[in-house]
Structure 1
Amino acid sequence: MSDTQTLIENRPPSVAHLFLERVAATPDAEAYRYPVPAASGTGPDEWKSLSWAGTAHRVDAIAAGLIDLGLNPEDRVALASSTRIEWILADLGIMCAGAATTTVYPQTNAEESAYILADSESRVLIAEDAAQLAKAREKRAELPELRHVVVFDSEGVTKEESDPEGWVLTLAELELRGAALLEQNPDLVKERVGAIAADQLATLIYTSGTTGKPKGVRLPHDNWSYMAKAIVATGLLGPDDVQYLWLPLAHVFGKVLTSAHIDLGHVTAVDGRVDKIIENLPVVQPTYMAAVPRIFEKVYNGVAAKARAGGGAKYKIFQWAADVAREYAKASQDNFRRTGTASVPFGLGAKHKVADALVYSKLREAFGGRLRAAVSGSAALAPDIGYFFAGAGIHILEGYGLTESSAASFVNPGEAYRTGTVGKPLPGTEVRIADDGEILLRGPGIMEGYHGLPEKTAEVLESDGWFHTGDIGELSVDGYLRITDRKKDLIKTSGGKYIAPAEVEGQFKAVCPYVSNILVHGADRNFCTALISLDEPAILDWAKENGLEGKSYAEVCAAPVTVELIEGYVKELNEGLQRWQTLKKFRLLPRDLDVEHGELTPSLKLKRPVVEREYKHLIEEMYAGSREA
Structure 2
Amino acid sequence: MDGVGFSLAIGALKALAFVYDVLTFPIYIILQKPWRLRQLSRSIKGIIVDIEVEQSKEFIIDMKESPNAIKNKYRDPSSVLGKAKAIQEDAKSVTYRSAVQPKEHHITLVREKIDTMAKMFEYCAKKYRNKRCLGTREILAEEDEVQPNGRVFKKFVMGDYKWKTFGEVNELAASFGRGLVSMGNPSGKNVAIFAETRAEWMVAAHGFFKFNIPLVTIYATLGDDAIAHAINETEVSTIITSYELLPKFKKILSLTPRVQTLIYMEDQLKELANLDGYKEGVQIVKFTEVIAKGDDIRDKVTPSVPPTTDDIAIIMYTSGSTGVPKGVILQQKNLIATLKGFCDSTPIYETDVMIGFLPLAHVFELLVESVCLFAGVPIGYSGPLTMTDNSNKIKRGTKGDATVLCPTVLTSVPLILDRISKSIQEKVSKSGSLKKVIFKFAYEYKTAWKRRGYSTPLIDKLIFSPITKLVGGKMRLMIAGGAPLSPDTHEQIGTCLCLRIIQGYGLTESTSCAAVQDLYDMSFGRVGAPCTICDIKLVSWEEGNYRVTDKPYPRGEIILGGDNISAGYYKLPDKTDEDFFDADGKRWFKTGDIAEVHGDGVFKIIDRKKDLVKLQAGEYVSLGKVEAELKTCPLVDNICVYGESSKDFCVALVVPNQQNLKDLAAKIGIVNKSFEELCVNAAIEKAMVQELAEHGKKSKLAKFEIPAAIKLVTEVWSPDMGLVTAAFKLKRKDIQERYKYEINRMYAS
TM-score of the two chains, using structure 1 as the length reference? 0.88
Q: Give the structure with higher Rg (CA).
A: 2
**2: CA distance, partners of 1:319 / 1:586:** 32
Residues 378-410 of structure 1: CA distance to partner in whole angstroms, max 9, x if unpaired? 011111111222333332111111011111221
1:48 matched to 2:48: no
Q: TM-score of the superposition, structure 2-length normalised?
A: 0.75
Answer yes or no: is the 8 Å Cα contact 1:22–1:265 preserved in 2.
yes
Task: Spell out, residue by residue over 1:248-270, the C-alpha distance to the aligned partner (whole angstroms, 9 max, x if none).
Answer: 11111222123212211111111
1:41-91, CA deviations, whole angstroms, 9 ceiling, x for partnerless residues?
A: 553343211111221232122111111112222211111111111111111
Instruction: Report the Cα distance in structure 1 between the residues aligned to 2:379 and 2:663, rounded to whole angstroms.
Output: 35
> Compared with structure 1, are the counterparts of its residues 544 and 496 closer, same or farther at alpha carbon in structure 2 (3 Å cutoff)?
closer
Question: 1:508 aligned to 2:630?
Answer: yes
Sort the Cα spacing of 1:318 and 1:529 in 2 relative to 1 into closer, same or farther, 3 A. farther
Query: Which whole-Å deviations, capped at 9, do the CAs of 1:73-112 have from their partners, x for residues lacking one?
Result: 2211111111111111111122222101111122223322
Q: Does 1:287 align with 2:408?
A: yes
Q: Which residue of the other structure, out of 382, 394, 400, is the alignment partner of 1:271?
A: 382
* Conserved 8 A contact 2:341-2:513: no
Check 1:35–1:161 CA distance in 2 against 1; reply closer, same or farther (3 A cut): closer
How far, CA to CA, are the matches of 2:282 and 2:650 in structure 1? Answer: 58
Alpha-carbon distance between aligned partners in 2 of 1:277 and 1:446, rounded to the nearest angstrom = 37
Distance 2:657 2:277 in 1: 47
Q: Secondary structure at the match of 1:71?
A: coil
Q: Does 1:23 find its partner at 2:145?
A: no
Question: Deviations 1:452-511 (Å, cap 9, x if unpaired)?
Answer: 11110011101222210111111223221111122110122211112222222222233x
Measured in 1, the distance between the counterparts of 2:492 and 2:102 equals 36
Between the aligned partners of 1:8 and 1:255, the Cα distance in structure 2 is: 18
CA spacing shift, 1:139–1:33, aligned 2, 3 Å: closer
1:417 shift after superposition: 5.0
Q: Does 1:243 align with 2:354?
A: yes
Instruction: Give the Å deviation of 1:281.
Output: 2.3
Equivalent-residue separation in structure 2 for 1:269 and 1:564 (angstroms): 47
Q: Match of 1:520?
A: 641
Percent of aligned pairs sharing the same letter: 26
Per-residue Cα deviation, 1:9-67 (whole angstroms, up to 9, x for no partner):
55522111111111111211011222121247553343211111221232122111111
Alpha-carbon distance between aligned partners in 1 of 2:635 and 2:170, rounded to the nearest angstrom:
46
Residues 382, 506 of structure 1: 8 Å contact kept: yes
Question: Are 2:208 and 2:214, in contact at CA under 8 Å, matched by a contact in 1?
Answer: yes
SS at match of 1:43: strand
Partner residue in 1 for 2:422: 301
Work out whether 1:12 is the aligned partner of 2:126. Answer: no
Change (3 A) 1:417 1:427: farther
The residue that corresponds to 1:199 in the other structure is 310
Corresponding position of 2:208: 94
Q: How has the CA–CA distance of structure 1 residues 196 and 550 changed in structure 2, closer, same or farther, with 3 Å as cutoff?
A: farther
1:466 aligns with 2:585: no
Specify the alignment match of 2:519 in structure 1: 414
Q: Relative to 1, partners in 2 of residues 1:391 and 1:70: Cα closer, same or farther, differing over 3 Å?
A: same
Task: Assess if the C-alpha contact under 8 Å between 2:334 and 2:564 holds in 1.
Answer: yes
Native 8 Å contact 2:534 2:561 kept in 1: yes
Would you say the 8 A contact 1:398–1:419 is kept in 2?
Answer: no
Structure of greater relative contact order (alpha carbons < 8 Å, 6+ residues apart)? 2
For residues 359 and 593 of structure 2, the distance between their equivalents in structure 1, rounded to whole angstroms, comes to 23
Instruction: Tell me the secondary structure at the aligned position of residue 596 of structure 1.
Output: helix
Distance 1:263 1:574, change over 3 A: closer
Aligned to 2:240, the other structure's residue is in SS state strand
Structure 1 residues 599 and 235: CA distance shift in structure 2, 3 A:
closer
Shift of 1:293: 0.6
- The DSSP-based 3-state class of the residue aligned with 1:239 is coil
Decide whether the 8 Å contact of 1:302 with 1:538 is kept in 2: no
SS at the partner of 1:44? strand
Write the distance in 2 (CA, Å) between the matches of 1:453 and 1:567. Answer: 43
Q: Distance in 1 between matches of 2:659 and 2:202?
A: 33
Higher helix proportion: 1
Aligned equivalents of 1:540 and 1:239: distance in 2? 47
- Given the alignment, which residue of 618, 634, 651 partners 1:496? 618
Q: Which of residues 469, 481, 505 is equivalent to 1:365?
A: 469
1:449 alignment counterpart: 568
SS at match of 1:38: strand
Which has the larger displacement, 497-506 or 314-323?
314-323
- Residue 601 of structure 1 aligns with an amino acid whose one-letter code is T
Deviation at 1:526, TM superposition (A): 0.7
Give the match for residue 339 of structure 1: none
Pick from 247, 253, 264 the counterpart of residue 140 of structure 1: 253
- Preserved CA contact (<8 Å) 2:482 2:727: yes
Q: Following TM superposition, by how much is the alpha carbon of 1:551 offset from its aligned partner in structure 2, in angstroms? A: 5.5
Partner residue of 1:612 out of 728, 736, 740: 736
1:28 aligns to what SS in structure 2?
coil
Deviation (angstroms), 1:179? 0.9
SS of the aligned residue for 2:653 comes to strand
Q: Matches of 2:736 and 2:252 in 1, distance apart?
A: 31
Deviation readout 1:339-375 (Å, 9 max, x if unpaired) = xxx24xxxxx8xx778646643332232222221111
1:394 to 492, 499, 508: 499
Aligned counterparts, 1:110-149, within 5 A: 110-129=224-243, 132-140=245-253, 142-149=255-262
Mapped to 2, the partners of 1:615 and 1:416 lie a distance apart of 41
What's the counterpart of residue 290 of structure 2? 174
Matched, 1:233 2:347: no
Instruction: Please list every run of 5 or more consecutive structure 2 residues that lacks an aligned counterpart in the other structure.
Output: 1-65, 67-100, 144-155, 390-399, 542-555
Please report how far the alpha carbon of residue 161 of structure 1 lies from its aligned counterpart in structure 2 after TM superposition: 9.9
One-letter amino acid of the structure 1 residue matched with residue 620 of structure 2: Y
Let me know the Cα RMSD of the aligned residues: 2.9
Q: CA deviation at 1:203?
A: 0.5
Residues 132 and 29 of structure 1: is their aligned pair in 2 closer, same or farther, counting only changes over 3 Å? same
Contact persistence 2:192–2:215 (CA under 8 A): yes
| CA distance in structure 1 between the partners assigned to 2:277 and 2:687 by the alignment | 59
* TM-aligned CA distance change 1:23 to 1:95, over 3 Å: same
Question: Structure 1 residues 56 and 574, CA, compared in 2 at 3 Å: closer, same or farther?
Answer: closer
Give the 5 Å matches for 1:515-554. 515-524=636-645, 525-536=647-658, 552-554=674-676
Unaligned runs of at least 5 residues, structure 1: 333-341, 344-348
Change (3 A) 1:157 1:415: farther
Tell me if the contact between 2:412 and 2:478 (Cα under 8 Å) persists in the aligned partners.
Answer: yes
Preserved CA contact (<8 Å) 1:383 1:419: yes
**Aligned with 2:489 (options 360, 378, 385):** 385
1:160–1:612: structure 2 CA closer, same or farther, 3 Å change rule? closer
Structure 1 residue 215 corresponds to structure 2 residue 215: no
Match of 1:255 in 2: 366
Structure 2 residue matching 1:416: 3-state secondary structure: coil
Tell me, in whole angstroms, the C-alpha distance in 2 between the residues paired with 1:519 and 1:162.
Answer: 39
Question: Within the alignment, does 1:581 sit opposite 2:705 as a pair?
Answer: yes
Aligned counterparts of 1:247 and 1:157: Cα–Cα separation in 2: 30
**May I ask how many residue pairs the two structures share in their alignment?**
601
SS of the aligned residue for 1:298 comes to: helix
With over 3 angstroms needed to count, the CA separation of the structure-2 counterparts of 1:367 and 1:210, relative to structure 1, is closer
In structure 2, what is the Cα distance between the partners aligned to 1:255 and 1:215? Answer: 18
The secondary structure found in structure 1 opposite 2:187 is coil
1:621 aligns with 2:725: no
Whichever residue aligns with residue 516 of structure 1, its letter is: D
CA 1:49–1:203 in structure 2 vs 1: closer, same or farther (change >3 Å)? same
Q: Secondary structure at the match of 1:248?
A: coil
Question: Cα 1:137–1:583, aligned 2, differ >3 Å: closer, same or farther?
Answer: closer
